[in-house]
Amino acid sequence: MKLFDLNRFSRNYGFLVKIGAAILYSVMIAVALNFFWRPGHIYSSGITGFAQIVNTVTSRYMPFTITTEVMYFALNVPLFILAWFKIGYEFTGYTIFAVAMSAIMMRFIQPTQVSLDPILCAIFGAAFNGIGTGMALKSGISTGGLDILGIVVRKKTGVNYGKFNILVNLIIVLIAGFLFDWSRALYTVLNIFINGRFIDSVYTQHNKLQVMIVTEHPNAIIEGIQEKMHRGITIFHDVEGAYGHTEKTVLLTIIDTYDLYDIRTTVEKCDPFAFMGVTEVQKVYGRFREQEVV
């Protein structure tokens, strides 16, 4: 018998796992920012990158300086409000905690002295942040920023969010080139790419899942799923449960990993007694709309 079962621990102590993951992420991003990105004049992706840009611009051209950690939290506040109304209070609560802890750690975890090659700063900064972000996503929490915007856009439109994320990061790279020099822009590109690879190595958010739902209330579940996500559903009528010999319906669909929370809560709301099985899918052929969230 295993002395420690991580999956069982996650199920029984989900709150502690999420809080621990948020604290780990906050430490990792603080180390990435203060030990590597800031000394190497390298920008992160997304909201963190824009917070760094505001810090650089205000320190250079303004009589006051807005610190990265303050701007990082401030830029997330409108997204907290959006998440509260469009996603859910539990999701928003964990996100606020993760972002607040990150801002605190950015302020207090400071190196004594760092002097590294910019390429090493890009690699190690991306590694620390990528591992921390991957662990947070794997534990079922968001790190704020573009995650929130991506989920809301996907829920409302079903459009490919990856294109928007590429555009945002392209803007950050161009600003890095103008503020410093184009070699720093190249290092920022390297940082963003490696960061994404580390996130994927810890937690691949674009994994496809096959979901099978056995229910006595298929119509309500179908309407709930198609309202929240743009997914096709195959319906198997007139199946029978072996235990009670009652007539049931089987629903079969393919989703992204990020859809799992939505589909689980929808099924629980429409039919608390429904049975749901989830398996990983290696390949998907045919008409399947990619819904990338970064």
When the pLDDT of each residue in the chain is averaged and rounded to a whole number, the result is 80
Query: In the predicted model, is pLDDT for residue 3 greater than 50?
Result: no
Average the pLDDT over each of 125-134, 209-218, 224-233 and give the range with the smallest value. Answer: 224-233
Q: Which of 119, 257, 259 is nearest to 193 (CA)?
A: 119
Residue for token pair 């939290």: 73
Edge-to-edge strands, sheet with 234-240: 234-240, 247-256, 208-215, 275-281
Residues 4-22 have a mean pLDDT of 66
Q: Which amino acid is at 205?
A: Q
29-44 pLDDT per residue, tens: 999 999 998 888 888 8
Indicate the SS3 state at residue 248: strand
42-55 pLDDT per residue, tens: 888 888 888 998 99
**Percent of the chain predicted with pLDDT > 90:** 18
Domain ranges in the chain are: 6-202, 208-281
Pair of tokens at residue 255: 């989703």
Q: How would CATH label the architecture of 208-281?
A: 2-Layer Sandwich (3.30)
Strand partners, 247: 240
Per-residue model confidence (pLDDT) at position 244: 78
